[in-house]
Amino acid sequence: MSRRPNTGRRFGDSGSMPFVGAFHPKSRPSPLLSVGLVVVGALLIVGYLYHGSGGQSGDIAALNRHDGGVSCTQEVQRLIPILKKAYGDSMRKVLHVGPETCSVVSQLLKEEDTEAWGVEPYDLDDADGNCKSLVHKGIVRAADVKFPLPYRPKSFSLVIVSDALDYLSPKYLNKTVPELARVSADGLVILSGYPGQQRAKVAELSKFGRPAKLRSSSWWIRFFIQTSLEENETAIKKFEQAAAKKSYKSACQVFHLKPLH
């Protein structure tokens, strides 16, 4: 949009002024008016063309950014070695909650001494063969995380949630986050996007029914205090040390909460 006024000014200076002199504006206003209209029309067309081409390349850039957008579920997969360092034995029974949970669960199952389960926040309609087999074995299930999870308290040693919370309004977060902390024995790890970040998978939107709302870390910390959830300072420290050792910089915000009992 900013190009339009510039273009207009450039054309106005060099194009319309000579005409004003030639047609004696005082005595004959109507030719001036029509010339003015022609000039305005030309400006609009030029402006439209400029804007059109600018808009188009802008859209392409936006699309590319979406393609390379950030998925915190993918980030979990990169984080597993660091989480193992930070949580040690608490990685023995892990529940992952988030879109594309099959990919995380599959990777966790490759780790020694780790059992893993997954909750896909919406449907599993587009599951591949490997994912279908995890569903068939009862390891992965689809469940709406807005409602209580079908697990007893402390069913898992560690619960990891990625992306899913970014799609919930505070009304549901108030119930869902304590619920995730309830089913965990040793801790809850939350991965959430940074404000202003491009999300991967625009197609997810229709599933979640609302766009991701990426909240700042101060928003989250205030939310934890309001809902009486405590951050686990020991886990934060160990996680940061392990991350520094591997020169790992997370593309997502990572929070470490104590379980709720």
Q: Which residue ranges make up the site for ligand NAG (CB under 6 A)?
A: 86-87, 90, 170-171, 174, 186-187, 226-227, 232, 234-235, 238, 258-259
Q: 38-53 burial, b for 16+ CB within 10 Å, e for fewer?
A: ebeeebeeebeeebee
Please say which residue, 184 or 197, places its beta carbon nearer to ligand NAG: 184
Please say which residue, 216 or 234, places its beta carbon nearer to ligand NAG: 234
Measured CA to CA, the distance from residue 196 to residue 211 in angstroms comes to 13
Please say which residue, 53 or 169, places its beta carbon nearer to ligand NAG: 169
CB of 98 to ligand NAG, least distance (A): 21
CB of 258 to ligand NAG, least distance (A): 4
- Helix 3-11 vs helix 29-67: angle between axes, to the nearest 10 degrees? 150
CB of 96 to ligand NAG, least distance (A): 18
Please say which residue, 143 or 185, places its beta carbon nearer to ligand NAG: 185
CB of 116 to ligand NAG, least distance (A): 18
CB of 231 to ligand NAG, least distance (A): 9
Please say which residue, 31 or 88, places its beta carbon nearer to ligand NAG: 88
CB of 142 to ligand NAG, least distance (A): 25
Please say which residue, 137 or 171, places its beta carbon nearer to ligand NAG: 171
